[in-house]
Structure formats: C-alpha cells, structure tokens
Amino acid sequence: MDGEFCVVCGATDRPLTDGVCAECAADRTRLLSAPERGVVVICPHCGARKVGEQWERAGTSPVLTADDLTPFLRVPREVAVRRVRWEETSATGTVRELVGTADVVFRGVERPVEVRLSVRTEHRTCLDCSRKSGRYYTAVLQLRGGLEKPGEKSPALHARLDRTWSALLGESRPDWRKAVSWVEERPEGYDVFLTQTLAARAVAKLAKQRFGARVKESASLVGRKDGQDLYRVTLCLRFPRPEASGPAPAFSGRPLER
Ligand SMILES: [Zn+2]
Ligand SMILES: [Zn+2]
C-alpha cells in the first residue's frame, strides 16, 4: 500500500475502496433514508397492524412504536442499522412527524444518522374484529356447573364459573383467546362464542385436563355456503363443584372477559 492515500482527505493509514477511505465514503454516502410519507393501518378495536394483506400483532397498543416506524427505513446494502431512537416532533390529526436517530455501521465506521419520517395512521377494522362485530361465530362453549344435588345457587355458581373461565383463559394460547368473540350470561352459566372451532375444542380439552370439566360436543347444521354444509359446534363444559376439602384451582383473579 506504499504511496496509496485517500484521494479526499489524503490519509495514508486507512484501507481504501476506489481510492477513498471509509470515513470519507461515509461522509459522501446517504447512509439511511425514509419515504416522504409512511402509512400505518391500525385496527382501532384490537390494535392489529395491516402488513401487506395480513393483519399482525393483534393486542398491541394503538400508539405508534419503533416496531411501526423502523421498517420504513431504507437501508443501503453496505449499511447495518444498530439501533434507532424515534422522537415525535409534531402531530396534526392523523399525521405524525418524527425524527429517528440511528446508529449505523458503514464499512466498519459507526455513525449517527438522522432521518425524518412523516407517518399517517389509518384506522380500519381488521378481519377478526369485523367478524366479531357481525356476531360471527362457529362454536359455543357452554360453561355450566356440575350435576351434583342439590344444585349450586346462581350468585355462587356464576362467581365460580367466572373465576374458572378467567383461569382457563389465563392458561390458553393467545390464538385461542383471540378466537373468543363475546360472552353471554345465562341463568345456568355462561355461553362463550368463538370464531374458530379448533380453538374452542382446544379450550375444552384444556378445561378437561386442568379443571376437571366434563365435555360434551354436539353440532348443528346452520346452512350451506359454497356447496358446503355449515355446522356450528356446541361444547358443553360441566365444571363439578370442588369438594370442600379438595384443592382449589389456581385462579388468576382476572374478571370475565367480554
Ligand atoms: Zn479519506
Ligand atoms: Zn381488530
């Protein structure tokens, strides 16, 4: 490398690419950019984000976070983004102006880079929520007491089923919980309406294994669609009253979700 030097700064002790050192190349390269305007589509009911044709991250806060903003960054091939801190500079209606400060690495040189981004949020009801608002369901979980005599009286029975349901939900997978559309109170217990039959069966199985429920499944034909019979599945879950001496199930103490 004798006699070689950066054609920009004249440094002789640095590796060169096309005669320019990494520091000088970083100075002359746009290390990060963002589109003029980004759009984030959010479901106002569940917080899901629309990514392409898919709805993702249901249950997240509707507030914009780095997870919404950082994907807008355009990162050149030789640049790696270490971290980005976002700060909102102004907001009008549904448009937010933000400045991101990114630590990037370019050919071994680390630099902070500022990027401006303007993001418009658009609210649209996601598929799951529009199904739920249309009172769409494919399965019902009937939460009931056991068949012991004498029968359990209403306030005690409902309180027990309420606690049991909370505990059951607490142990359920997130996608099963997501399938729960709404809950209706009945004199003999609760009816839980779900948009996914497989999730309903999975919750019923969990109720049997962990909470000693007896499960009875039945199906009723509700119509035809696209040449296919449409069935709704009813799963009756009977939770026997725990013996006074028996161990009580571990309750999460959360109220019944509706
Ligand atoms: Zn140089
Ligand atoms: Zn939604």
- pLDDT tens profile 171-214: 999 999 989 988 888 889 999 999 999 999 999 999 999 999 99
pTM over 0.85: no
Which tens digits make up the pLDDT trace of 62-88? Answer: 788 999 999 999 999 999 999 999 999
Nearest 5°: phi and psi at 87? -135, 135
**pLDDT at residue number 94:** 81
Name the closest ligand to CA 15: 1
Instruction: Say how many Å lie between the CA of residue 54 and the centre of ligand 1.
Output: 46
Give the ligand at the shortest distance from the Cα of 124: 2
Q: Are 257 and 169 within 8 A, CB to CB?
A: yes
Around ion ligand 2, residues with a beta carbon closer than 5 Å are: 43, 45-46, 48, 126, 129
**Ligand 2 mean position, distance from CA 110 (Å):** 40
CA distance 72 to 237: 47
pLDDT tens readout for residues 141-167? 999 999 888 888 888 999 999 999 999
pLDDT digits (tens, 9 = 90+) for 205-256: 999 999 999 999 999 887 777 777 778 999 999 999 876 434 455 554 455 5
